[in-house]
Structure formats: C-alpha cells, structure tokens
Chains A and B, each alone.
Chain A
Amino acid sequence: MSAGQNGIEVEGLVKNFKGGVRAVDGIDLTVAPGEIYGFLGPNGAGKSTTVLVLTTLLPPTAGSARVAGLDVMHEGPAVRRAIGASLQESALDPFLTGREHMRLQSALHGLGREERDRRGAELLERVGLTDAADRKVGGYSGGMKRRLDLGLALVHRPRLLFLDEPTTGLDPQSRAALWDEVRRLAGDGVTVFLTTQYLEEADVLADRVGIIDRGRIVAEGTPAELKASIGRPSVEAIPADPADRERLAGVLARFGEEAAASPNGVAARLPEGVGDLAEIVRALDAEGLRIADLRLHAPTLDDVFLEKTGRSLEGAGEEPAGEPAEEEAATA
C-alpha cells in the first residue's frame, strides 16, 4: 500500500524516554490517503507517544516516519503545515471565547484578517458552535470543547488529521456527532489517524485498525479481517440450577473446545459457526437441562486483543507497579 502525499508511512519507529522506558518499540504501519486508521490500545500502550512523534512534537529515538510525504525528523515545519491535530486533552484556554480561539489559531497559521473571521465562522458553524461562539470556553461542556478542538485543527485545511482519543469522556450523543464529523472529513478526502481505547469506536469508524500493546503493534487489518482472523463465534449458556454446571459443560464439549465464559456460565467455541446453535438447543433439551440464559458471541476486537496479548483490552491499561504510564513518560 502506498501512503502517497496524504498518507503515513512508519518503519521501525522507536521512542525511548529517560529511565529506559521504551514507549514505542519498533512499530511499522502504513495509512493510505483518505483512510480512517484506528489506533487501538489500552492506556499506556504507546498510542499518544506515537501521535506526538508523527505530529513532530517529539523526535523519535530510531526508525523513520513520513507524514503527508514528508520526513517528520527533517521536515517538521512542512509536516505541521500539512497536518491538523486534536491531541488528548481539549487544549483550550478557558478564558477565551470559541471565536477568539478561532482567531488566534487562524492568525498563527498566517491567515489574513478577513479570512480569519470568515474561516472561523465557517468552522464554528460546521462544528455546531455558532450560538456559543462568544461564550468563554470555561463554560463549555466536554462535547463542545471537543468539537471546538476539532474545528481548530481544521483551520488551515489540513490534508491529514490526527485525533488522539477524541471521544474520551463524551456522552453517547456527543460521541456519535463527532463520529459523523470524522466520517464527513474522510469523505472530503482527509486522511484520519485516530487513537482510541474504545473497541466500538475503532470497529464502527475505522477503515483499518492497528492494535498496539506495550509499544508494539500486535495486529493490523480491517475490523472484519481482524475478527475473522481469530475465527469462530462461541456460545455461552448459564444453567438455571448452578448444580447443573458440570452436566452443561459436558453437553457443550460435544460441540467445541471450551471458551472463556462469565463466572456462572459455560462456553464453547463453535468450529462450524452459528449453524450448530439449533443442534445445541436440541442437545440441551434432550439432557433435560434448564437454561437461564443462552448467548451467541460473535468475535469482537476485544477477542482479537485477548488472542494476541493474552489479556482483555478492558483493564489492560492498568500497568504493573513500577512501569510508568505513557503520559508520565511523555513528559519525562
């Protein structure tokens, strides 16, 4: 795949911090122009450090990266002109209004006075903040701040957009609105590099997903490819009488190997896919087993993460004692 003028090409990227912390450990990735690339991983996995390197804010320790066809190490100013970024925090000044933020950002990007006002009004409209444009940002909700942050990243019409956990802490409605805007941008030809710790976000929004854990990419592909790579669905049953758990396990074992289940349940991975489900129900009935709940699990990106790392993505960010989280490392 060629990254071209609007894409990203990364080879063997490494970033070490003081104290020997290796936040990014030799990652390779390619993002095609116009693609939404989801960079999925738990807290402390190396997502934000990768973004800081790709946006030229941190020099890499080793490896190479080209963003929008430009070398991040040697063509920093040109990279910054080509990209827009909304980093992890809503980095806004609570004492300025939304419109003042737009003017400041436009002026720093060298837009003329008239164009500043025109572009600012256009972007405030686009992110739905026209009515709140003259209110101080300190009074904005989390969703409004994120939308303004996104609008500010677009002031200079970037070809490539970095969004670092753009929906963290947002309510479902604000999250959905931001997803729509990201899709619209991608539709306009903007390449989007999106980090997230939310499985659903990566699943529904990204064209391709890279899963990062402890500084390494452990899996990469379209969400469908990744889920297909770990294969088959599983069925989980919870007996109405807990004493029947052993008998239930015996029945399910006829249909497939044991899979991870909730504490009261028993699960089996289905080698023949969902076609076995009717057979399973008949077998349970034949054994006279009363079932409180029966669920079919299609593979999720969490299953992919579990398969590749041996841990679930939920809670995987809780680092062992003594291992600094990524944010600490980034400011070291």
Chain B
Amino acid sequence: MSAAGALYNQVGVLARRSMLKTLRQPFQLFPIVFFPLILLAVNASGLKAATRLPGFPTHSYVSFAIAVAFIQGGMFSLINTGTNLAEDIESGFFNRLALTPLHRVSLISGLLVGVAALGVLQSAVYILMSIVAGAHLQAGAGGVGVILALGALTAVGFGALGCAAALQTGSGEAVQGLFPLFFVFIFLSSSNLPRNLLKTGWFHTVATWNPISYLIEGFRSLYIYGWDGTALWRGFAVGVGLTAISLLACAGALRGRLQRT
C-alpha cells in the first residue's frame, strides 16, 4: 500500500471509530444535538419582543437566534472530542494506537473527520428544526450547503481545541472545565442582539472584538439576508482561523504526548 493509501486508510478507520463511539453513547449525543435547540427555544420565547426594536433585522427571533445553536453545537464538539480523546489516553487506548504504524497526522485527522461528519449531522438537525419552528432560510437550498460547510468547519475548529486540551492534560475533567470559558465568549458576542443595537459601550466593543460574533453573523446572514458576502467571508475567516490555531495547538500538544521514537 502506498504512503498516501495508508494515510487515507488510517484516517478512514479512525473517523469511523470516532463516529461509532459518539453515536453509541446516547447520553453524549443528546446534549450535542438537542441542548442548543432547548436553549434556542428558551431564548426565542423570552426575547421575542426584541424583534420589535427599531433596527432589528427580522421579525422572526428564531431566524435570528438559530445561528447561536451552530456555535453551541461546535462547543459541545469540543467537550465531546476532548473527553473521548482524554479517555483514550487514560485507558491506554492511545498507547495501543501509538504502537501501530499509525502516522501522527492520521491520529488527529481521523478524529476530526469524525467530528466534521458529526458537525454536518448537527447542522442538518438545526436547519430542519429551525424551519419547523418557523424560521425562513433566505439563502435557499444553496444556503443549506453553506451552513453545513460552516457547521462542519466550526465543529472541527472547536473539536481540535478539545483534542489539544486532552493531549495537553490527559484529563477529561480538565477538558470539561473549558466549557464555561467558551460559553462566556458566546454571551459576550452578538448572540442575543445585533451589534448595532448593543448600546452599552463596553459590551459593543467586546462583541466587536469577539471573533465569535463574526462566526454567528456568518450563519445568521444566510437566514436573514440571503447572500451577504462580507458576513460570509468574515464567518469563514474566523472558522478557518480557529481551526488553524486549534490544529497548531493540537500539533504542539501531540508532540509532548506522543514521545515514541
């Protein structure tokens, strides 16, 4: 088998294992897929009145707020992926993999391909549920594809960060400890109101500097405006940037963890 063939094979079997592991744990799958929707339902019923504010971009709060579910889904990917990898380290399964001719690139890629597939699944559920709840996807069928791609990218970006944390600490508890930190990033963004309506000066500044705002606005633009090039390139730029930084962190942590000769 050629080197490329071996790499492809390794990534494939590890991605399959990553997906099977998640899909066979309903208690892990439920929060990843449904918890963001529950939060959306709570927010949409409590903050519906915000749509009457002058300058609010839509009459449907679900269309506005559904974008946050994609980000929360990504953050659950961080916890899920990081915890699974930390369990592998704690149980010795990581050493089992390290004892095979597995390339170090395959080890992380396999996990992240599984995360991307799960990200697509999550995003598809969110799109479906948002439409059932009355949201209108302005960008149409083409927008579905873009949301799935951005959803997968977001899941991979956060998932890789979870991998980095797991490789660095080797502890599932430490990975779970990251969750509140990232939730703060969501609250300090344009998750609940558009930035032009954030009247508190410091909050507006923080939300403007917070990259999560642009990720949210990328998803949101497809629901509310259709094809907004600026919002989309900013959203994808944040997704790519997050993924790149996470992968760098992952590679560094992997070097420390995998000391095999």
Contact = CB atoms under 8 A, between A and B. Distances in A.
A55 B95 CA distance: 10
A85 B261 contact: no
Contacts of A80: 99-101, 260
A87 B1 contact: no
A74 to B, nearest CB: 7
A59 B1 CA distance: 29
A96 B21 contact: yes
Contacts of A230: none
A244 interface: no
Contact of B259 (A59, A91, A109): A59
Contacts of A89: 91-92
Interface of B: 1, 6, 9-10, 13, 17, 20-21, 24-25, 88, 91-102, 170, 259-261
B15 to A, nearest CB: 11
Contacts of A55: 99
Nearest to B88: A93
Interface string A54-92: 011111000000000000111011011101010111111
B101 A91 contact: no
Given A80-B100, A104-B17, A87 B260 contact: no
B20 A96 contact: yes
A107 B10 contact: yes
A105 B98 CA distance: 11
Contacts of B94: 91
15 contacts: A57-B95, A57-B99, A58-B259, A80-B260, A88-B92, A89-B91, A92-B91, A93-B21, A93-B88, A96-B20, A108-B10, A108-B97, A109-B101, A110-B1, A331-B170
Contacts of B102: 108
A229 B221 CA distance: 82
A152 B96 contact: yes
In the A-B complex, the 9 residue pairs with the smallest Cβ-Cβ separation, listed nearest first, are: A91-B92, A76-B261, A108-B100, A89-B92, A107-B13, A95-B24, A91-B96, A91-B93, A56-B261
A92 B93 contact: yes
Given A72-B261, A81-B101, A108 B93 contact: no
A91 B90 CA distance: 9
B261 A100 contact: no
Nearest to A52: B95
Most buried by B among A80, A104, A108, A331: A108
A95 B84 CA distance: 11
A152 B13 CA distance: 16
Nearest to A72: B261
A167 B101 CA distance: 27
Contacts of A110: 1, 6, 9, 101
Contact of B21 (A74, A95, A103): A95
B17 A96 contact: yes
B140 to A, nearest CB: 39
Contacts of A72: 261
Contacts of A56: 99, 260-261
A57 B260 contact: yes
Nearest to A331: B170
B133 to A, nearest CB: 33
Given A87-B92, A93-B93, 5 more contacts: A73-B261, A80-B100, A83-B99, A95-B24, A108-B101
Most buried by B among A57, A59, A103: A57
Given A72-B261, A95-B20, A110-B1, A77 B100 contact: no
Nearest to B25: A95
B32 to A, nearest CB: 15
A11 B9 CA distance: 38
Given A92-B93, A100-B20, A105 B260 contact: no
B92 to A, nearest CB: 3
B113 to A, nearest CB: 15
Nearest to B93: A91
A38 B17 CA distance: 35
Contacts of B93: 91-93
Most buried by B among A81, A91, A92, A100: A91
